[in-house]
């Protein structure tokens, strides 16, 4: 009886360790992206236009997340193979050794904005002192941008009350004066505008010009097992990004489908976003520095970390072709 | 002397054609007519289930007859307010019941009720005196009432009722939990109250009555009829 | 020996630490007990989010629970006494109570935010809902459990309805009321954390702290936070039990 129980215990422990070793064309690639985040339009374009299949990647949506940190938790749990996610939450998760992932390509730069109520007395960044501003979550790109803006425009962060709301809730909260402003990814700022509820206080471009925003990451374990699939995914991403520039009207339609928002909102939103796949090492270094100063992460050697975190090799191979 | 004058009695309670039924059962009493004489000493007897307790409860209005009328001092029950009736007709239940608290608190509790506000609260000497009469001299006024024995609680409940100076006492098995000595003390007190203070006494008991200072009248309840005998 | 009860706990802790050390249990899924203690230290010294220290989170959460719980007591006990007292009232209100009671407090969050806005009031409302029903129902059952003879004896001794209510009904239901309060505060405390997951305005609260620890990917601090929550719940329950003992002693 004792031996039997022991065997059961060990098999349970071991089965927790065994991962899916079997590879094959048919096994889907589990992909994640952020809900209604127009930054990640390339992902939706690739799905709609069949770029994944074309490049031999059987990509399946394994999760649609309300914010970056939640998506990174899914990576930590081994539930995703690749994902479109903000660079700040990805950095935090990997630096805190909760997820093992690598950045393979950029998805967009810029594309967020701090919104205040239409007709608000908040006219300039300094007016944010003493106000309540909503962010999608801690250690999101938007959290990062807000903190950066406060320091850039010399507002004491302690004087600003930060509240965590999911972006769909932000516009309603602004309308009913629950909050004085919010910062979110497009198309939520655009929607606040087209609804007549909000106006732009600062675009992310004004906070940090050309700042990298979303990235395409891959789980390290997945990369090791199926490198050819990884390459296919990155190639599909490159093709999709090119498509957005070549056929903007088609891209707008796809954007409308996946955000459920009207054409005016989507067009306004896309104007604020720069779709590119070119990686920025400097940008990531800035993230690491700032997140360390905020005490979100503790990285002794920023350079080593950045070099390990970003791997331009796959992109170079794909674009070179 | 006219015949009519011989008929005049001093009744404290009259039953006139009283019928009582427990829901869904055969009637306990049908068209019952009897009188309880003021100042008399009655023992109520009969087989178990005959309705002895119900008889007492009808008199104290804890139960209502289905038809017929019960009168107190020759006026119908309905013409009195319930507090007046209860002050005069004191019912001491078969199950001795005390509240969580000291002996004094239990004895004096009725005096905190608004309906009894016209009564003066007795002092501790009076309480002690009454306790002695029922052989509870060993019980302190500060003792926890719920720690006493069943027999002690039974006597305590009697004392509590007596403090309200009723006109009629209805007692349901008042000595069931008592030893011979205590039972005798309790009966002696009740008899004294009957003889000296004129309290009408109605006792339900299965015990035989051994004293011969008082000649009790017997009410035997059997098969829905109540017969008086000596 | 007093320490017998803790032996199982100790063995589990040691086993846990060893399995983490050998990396049989991956540390990003379940940090070791030692790491959790370090996480606790970080919560106290650095705070989560950084700058928001643990003691302040505790104070804010206690305040929210206090508000909700006391509202539940103030409404639940009198309502319970009345419902216990009157079979008619019980009959009329029973369908409503049985309909609302099974709705989990958390399901009320969107409505609460709609009615009370984001902040202290909506959180206190959620907690109130969690604590109210145990208090109400335990008070009612406390009243119904009183032996009817007590009411009859009081009636026989000429008690008015008001006397019976205050001198028989209330003292008799007190043990059940305390049970209801303990259950109520327990559920209220459990509801608090989830109620704080959304809509914390001040940036302080144990639920908010855990959510932020999740955002910033610190499972050690998530578990340390859970430990603190469990500990406080344990202390609150113990505190109420002690109150109950002292109160019952005084009465007896």
CA distance A261 to A71: 23
Please indicate, yes or no, if residue B1 is contained in any of the structural domains: no
For residue B222, give the 3-state DSSP assignment.
Answer: strand
According to the model, what pLDDT value does residue C119 have?
86
What are the backbone dihedrals phi and psi of residue A16, each rounded to the nearest 5 degrees, phi first? -70, -25
Report the chain C residue with the minimal C-alpha distance to residue A162.
Answer: C203
Domain that holds residue B101: 9-229
Identify the residue with better confidence: A82 or B12: A82
CA distance C113 to C31: 35
According to the model, what pLDDT value does residue A185 have?
94
Q: CB-based contacts of B81: which residues, under 8 Å, 6+ apart? A: none
CATH of residue B221:
3.40.50.300
Q: Which residues of C touch A163 (CB under 8 A)?
A: 118, 199-201, 203
The residue among A298, A315, A290 whose CA lies nearest residue A87 is: A290
**Other Cβ atoms closer than 10 A to A5:** 9
Residue with tokens 């979303």: A214
C209 and C191 share one domain:
yes
Residue B23: pLDDT band with limits 50, 70, 90: confident
Radius of gyration of chain B (CA): 18
Residue B8: pLDDT band with limits 50, 70, 90: low
Q: How far is A29 from chain C (nearest CA, A)?
A: 23
Q: Which two tokens stand for residue A72?
A: 């990174």
Domains A26-109+211-320 and A112-207 share a fold: yes
Residue A216: pLDDT band with limits 50, 70, 90: very high
Q: CB-based contacts of A59: which residues, under 8 Å, 6+ apart? A: A28, A29, A31, A46, A47, A52, A82, A233, A236
Q: CB-based contacts of A214: which residues, under 8 Å, 6+ apart? A: A34, A37, A39, A40, A84, A85, A86, A87, A106, A107, A108, A141
Evaluate whether A184 touches A200 at the Cβ level (below 8 Å). Answer: no
In chain A, pLDDT over 90 holds for what percent of residues?
Answer: 81
According to the model, what pLDDT value does residue B67 have?
87
Strand pairing of B41-45 and B217-222?
parallel
Q: Chain B contact for C150, CB < 8 A?
A: yes
According to the model, what pLDDT value does residue B138 have?
86
Interchain contact C/B (3 or more Cβ pairs less than 8 Å): yes
Please indicate, yes or no, if residue B3 is contained in any of the structural domains: no
Our CA dihedral for B126, B128, B130, B136, rounded to 10 degrees, sits at 170
Assess whether pLDDT exceeds 60 at residue A264. yes
CA distance C189 to C68: 10
Evaluate whether B154 touches B177 at the Cβ level (below 8 Å). Answer: yes
The mean predicted confidence, pLDDT, of chain B is 84
Domain that holds residue C2: 1-30
Assess whether pLDDT exceeds 60 at residue A113. yes
According to the model, what pLDDT value does residue B5 have?
41
Assess whether pLDDT exceeds 50 at residue B186. yes
The residue among A271, A237, A267, A238 whose CA lies nearest residue A254 is: A267
Residue A13: pLDDT band with limits 50, 70, 90: low
For residue A185, give the 3-state DSSP assignment.
Answer: strand
Assess whether pLDDT exceeds 80 at residue A112. yes
According to the model, what pLDDT value does residue C11 have?
92
According to the model, what pLDDT value does residue C212 have?
92
pTM equals: 0.80
Q: Which two tokens stand for residue A304?
A: 């080593």
CA distance B72 to B11: 8
Mean pLDDT value across residues A91-117: 95
Q: How far is A250 from chain C (nearest CA, A)?
A: 35
Q: Chain B contact for C29, CB < 8 A?
A: no
Q: Which two tokens stand for residue A216?
A: 């395409």
According to the model, what pLDDT value does residue C128 have?
94
C140 and C157 share one domain:
yes
Mean pLDDT value across residues B200-211: 83
Mean pLDDT value across residues A289-308: 91
Interchain contact B/A (3 or more Cβ pairs less than 8 Å): no
Q: How far is C88 from chain B (nearest CA, A)?
A: 20
Domain map (residue ranges) of chain A: 26-109+211-320, 112-207
Mean pLDDT value across residues B83-99: 85
Q: How many domains does chain B have?
A: 1
Which string of DSSP letters, residue by residue, matches B112-130? GSGGGTTSPPPPHHHHHHH
Identify the residue with better confidence: A184 or C244: A184
**Cross-chain CB nearest to C28 (options A98, A164, A179):** A98
Residue with tokens 């039997």: A4
Q: Which residues of B touch C159 (CB under 8 A)?
A: 110, 113, 115
Report the chain A residue with the minimal C-alpha distance to residue C219.
Answer: A98
Q: Which two tokens stand for residue C171?
A: 């003292």
User: Residue ranges of chain C with pLDDT lower than 50?
Assistant: 252
Long-range contacts of B79-86 (CB under 8 A, 24+ apart): B83/B115, B83/C158, B83/C160, B85/B60, B85/B61, B86/B60, B86/B61, B86/B115, B86/C155, B86/C156, B86/C157, B86/C158
In chain B, pLDDT over 70 holds for what percent of residues?
Answer: 94
Peptide bond into A187 cis (omega under 30): yes
Q: Which residues of A touch C24 (CB under 8 A)?
A: 13, 17
Mean pLDDT value across residues A104-124: 94
Q: What proportions of chain B, in percent to the nearest 5, are helix, strand and coil?
A: 35, 25, 40
Q: Chain C contact for B193, CB < 8 A?
A: no
According to the model, what pLDDT value does residue C94 have?
94
Evaluate whether C209 touches C43 at the Cβ level (below 8 Å). Answer: yes
Q: How far is B113 from chain C (nearest CA, A)?
A: 5
C20 and C82 share one domain:
no
C115 and C165 share one domain:
yes
Residue B214: pLDDT band with limits 50, 70, 90: confident
Which string of DSSP letters, residue by residue, matches C57-85? HHHHHHHHHHHHHHHHHHHHHHHHHHHHH
Q: Chain C contact for A9, CB < 8 A?
A: no
Fold annotation for A26-109+211-320: D-Maltodextrin-Binding Protein; domain 2 (3.40.190)
C6 and C46 share one domain:
no
The residue among B134, B181, B184 whose CA lies nearest residue B160 is: B134
Residue B230: pLDDT band with limits 50, 70, 90: low
Q: How many domains does chain C have?
A: 2
C43 and C19 share one domain:
no
According to the model, what pLDDT value does residue C44 have?
95
Q: Which two tokens stand for residue C158?
A: 């000429």
C131 and C200 share one domain:
yes
C230 and C163 share one domain:
yes
Q: Which residues of A touch C202 (CB under 8 A)?
A: 161
Crossing angle (nearest 10°) for helices C87-100 and C120-144 = 140
According to the model, what pLDDT value does residue B6 have?
42
pLDDT digits (tens, 9 = 90+) for C143-190: 999 988 888 888 888 888 888 888 888 888 988 999 999 999 999 998
Residue A182: pLDDT band with limits 50, 70, 90: very high
The mean predicted confidence, pLDDT, of chain A is 91
DSSP A208: S
Please indicate, yes or no, if residue B130 is contained in any of the structural domains: yes
Q: Does domain A112-207 have CATH number 3.30.70.1140?
A: no
Mean pLDDT value across residues A182-205: 94
């Amino acid at each position: 009886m004792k031996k039997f129980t022991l065997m059961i215990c060990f098999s349970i422990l071991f089965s927790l360790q065994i991962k899916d070793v079997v590879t094959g064309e048919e096994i889907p690639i589990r992909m994640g992206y952020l809900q209604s985040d127009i930054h990640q339009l390339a992902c939706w374009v690739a799905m709609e236009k069949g770029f994944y299949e074309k490049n031999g990647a059987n990509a399946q949506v394994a999760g649609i997340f309300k914010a970056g940190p939640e998506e990174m938790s899914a990576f930590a749990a081994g539930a995703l193979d690749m994902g479109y996610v903000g660079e700040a939450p990805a950095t935090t998760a990997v630096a805190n050794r909760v997820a093992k992932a690598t950045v393979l390509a950029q998805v967009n730069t810029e594309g967020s904005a701090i919104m205040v109520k239409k007709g608000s007395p908040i006219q300039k960044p300094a007016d944010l002192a003493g106000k309540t501003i909503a962010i999608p979550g801690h250690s999101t790109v938007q959290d990062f941008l807000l903190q950066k803006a406060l320091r850039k425009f010399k507002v004491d962060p302690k004087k600003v009350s930060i509240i965590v709301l999911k972006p769909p809730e932000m516009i309603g909260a602004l309308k009913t004066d629950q909050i004085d402003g919010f910062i979110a990814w497009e198309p939520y700022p655009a929607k606040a505008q087209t609804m007549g509820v909000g106006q732009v206080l600062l675009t992310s471009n004004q906070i940090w010009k050309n700042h990298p925003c979303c990235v395409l990451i891959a789980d390290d374990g997945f990369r090791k097992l199926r490198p050819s699939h990884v390459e296919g995914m990155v190639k599909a991403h490159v093709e999709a990004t090119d498509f957005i520039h070549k056929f903007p009207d088609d891209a707008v339609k796809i954007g409308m489908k996946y955000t459920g928002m009207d054409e005016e909102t989507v067009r306004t939103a896309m104007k604020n976003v720069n779709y590119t796949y070119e990686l920025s090492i400097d940008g990531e270094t800035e993230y690491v520095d700032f997140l360390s100063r905020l005490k979100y992460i503790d990285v002794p050697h920023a350079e080593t970390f950045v070099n390990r975190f970003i791997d331009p090799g796959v992109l170079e191979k794909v674009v070179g072709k | 002397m006219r015949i009519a004058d011989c008929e005049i009695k001093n009744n404290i309670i009259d039953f006139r054609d009283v019928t009582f039924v427990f829901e869904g059962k055969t009637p306990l009493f049908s068209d019952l007519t009897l009188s309880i004489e003021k100042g008399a000493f009655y023992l109520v007897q009969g087989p178990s289930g005959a309705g002895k307790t119900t008889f007492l409860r009808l008199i104290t209005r804890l139960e209502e007859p289905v038809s017929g009328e019960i009168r107190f001092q020759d006026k119908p029950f309905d013409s009195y307010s319930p507090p007046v009736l209860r002050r005069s007709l004191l019912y001491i239940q078969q199950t001795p019941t005390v509240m969580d608290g000291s002996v004094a608190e239990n004895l004096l509790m009725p005096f905190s009720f608004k309906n009894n506000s016209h009564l003066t609260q007795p002092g501790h000497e009076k309480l002690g005196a009454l306790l002695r009469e029922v052989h509870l001299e060993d019980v302190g006024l500060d003792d926890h009432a719920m720690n006493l024995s069943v027999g002690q609680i039974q006597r305590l409940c009697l004392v509590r009722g007596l403090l309200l100076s009723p006109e009629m006492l209805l007692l349901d098995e008042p000595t069931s939990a008592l030893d011979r000595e205590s039972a005798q003390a309790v009966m002696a007190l009740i008899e004294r109250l009957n003889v000296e203070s004129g309290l009408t006494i109605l006792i339900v008991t299965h015990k035989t009555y051994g004293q011969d200072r008082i000649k009790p009248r017997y009410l035997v309840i059997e098969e829905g009829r109540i017969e008086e005998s000596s | 020996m007093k320490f017998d009860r803790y032996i199982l706990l100790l063995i589990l802790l040691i086993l846990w630490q060893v399995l983490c050390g050998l990396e049989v249990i991956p540390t990003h899924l379940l940090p070791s007990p030692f790491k959790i203690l370090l996480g606790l230290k970080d919560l106290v010294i650095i705070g989560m989010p950084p700058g928001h220290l643990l003691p302040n989170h505790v104070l804010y959460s206690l305040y929210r629970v206090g508000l909700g719980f006391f509202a539940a007591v103030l409404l639940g006990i009198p309502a319970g006494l009345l419902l216990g007292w009157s079979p008619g009232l019980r009959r009329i209100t029973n369908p409503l109570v049985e309909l609302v009671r099974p709705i989990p407090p958390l399901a009320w969050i969107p409505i609460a935010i709609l009615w009370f806005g984001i902040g202290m009031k909506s959180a206190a409302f959620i907690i109130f809902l969690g604590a109210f029903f145990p208090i109400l129902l335990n008070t009612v059952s406390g009243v119904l459990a009183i032996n009817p003879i007590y009411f009859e004896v009081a009636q026989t001794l000429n008690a008015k309805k008001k006397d019976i209510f205050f001198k028989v009904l209330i003292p008799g239901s007190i043990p059940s009321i305390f049970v209801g309060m303990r259950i109520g505060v327990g559920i209220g405390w459990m509801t608090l954390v989830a109620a704080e997951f959304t809509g914390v305005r001040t940036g302080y609260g144990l639920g908010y702290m855990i959510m932020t620890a999740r955002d910033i990917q610190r499972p050690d601090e998530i578990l340390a936070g859970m430990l603190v929550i469990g500990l406080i719940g344990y202390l609150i329950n113990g505190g109420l039990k002690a109150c109950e003992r002292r109160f019952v002693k005084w009465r007896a």
